[in-house]
Amino acid sequence: MEVWAEMKQRIISSVIGLGVLALVLAFYETAVFNITIIVLILLAVYELFKAAKLTEHRPLFLLCLVFSALVPLLQTKHLGGQLAVICGAYAFLLFLNLIRYHNTLRIEQVSLAFFFGLMVPFSFSVMQLVHDRYEMSVSILYLLMMLGGAWLTDTGAYFSGRMFGKHKMAPQISPHKTVEGAIGGILCNLVCYYLLTWLYITAVGYFFQIAIQVNYLALGILALLASAAGILGDLTASVIKRQCGIKDFGSIMPGHGGVMDRFDSVLFVAPTVFVYIQYVELFTLV
């Protein structure tokens, strides 16, 4: 009964989350999308700082929050050319914090703050780059690939592991993850990538008379790469939580945890998809 109750809670939270995603996509061409990215970044950075017990260092914490919120703006034509200067200034201010609070602040904590402040916002901002650089009909599909690669792999692994899991994949990192679950997650993502793409291009063609040509071989390869990145991201988050002595990063989504619990894999999948599409053309408007 406990398993079914947990599963029910996860399903309800997932339905609500998908509803929020649909709402954001409905305002895809407005500031709502950019604001959503910034909110997710700030929540994720906060959860990581809280897990690492860095929120007590207020100047350091606030500096990282400000920089994290600024990163999406670095993609604009006005600030994009100043990226190296702004990142350098960020590092400089972090070291000023270390000098000012050297009695209570350690170099390891500053290094961790620097890492969190760069990794999270830049990974999330990849979704904004896709939004800004590609035609809307194609960019939404790329965005779905980024999110789906993480969530579909995770969902497939969860149910496959529950039903068939016998061989532990990384027992010291995450005891519940199994080899069978990982294989199920990869297969789930592969099938759903094709199914989702077919449904999307069919709907776009029917409602908007936009024809999209798909490179199905390249799409299949991306599905495998995205699944691998998603599994790596999930394991990385598990290591961080284990070393920080916590079960979840937060509780904003019952059954799933916090923003980082839901987007940990996305932080790895989104850059993987973005780099891949720089060299391989998946979708072409015809």
Mean pLDDT of 43-69: 93
The span from the CA of 221 to the CA of 200, in Å, is 19
| Strand, coil or helix: 104 | coil
| Predicted confidence band of residue 42 (pLDDT cuts 50, 70, 90) | very high
* 8 Å CB contact between 202 and 182: no
| Predicted confidence band of residue 6 (pLDDT cuts 50, 70, 90) | low
Q: What are residue 49's phi and psi, to 5 degrees?
A: -65, -40
The span from the CA of 180 to the CA of 175, in Å, is 13
Q: What are residue 285's phi and psi, to 5 degrees?
A: -80, 130
- Domain residue ranges in the chain: 1-133, 134-286
Specify the pTM.
Answer: 0.91
pLDDT in tens, 218-273: 999 999 999 999 999 999 999 999 999 998 898 777 666 789 988 999 999 999 99
| Strand, coil or helix: 253 | strand
User: What pLDDT does 79 receive?
Assistant: 52
pLDDT in tens, 131-153: 988 999 999 999 999 999 999 99
| Strand, coil or helix: 285 | strand
Q: How many CB atoms lie within 10 A of CB 255?
A: 16
The span from the CA of 134 to the CA of 282, in Å, is 12
* 8 Å CB contact between 267 and 124: yes
Report CA-CA distances (Å) from 22 to 3, 98, 192, 268.
28, 43, 18, 22
User: Which of 223, 220, 243 lies closest to 231 in space, CA to CA?
Assistant: 223
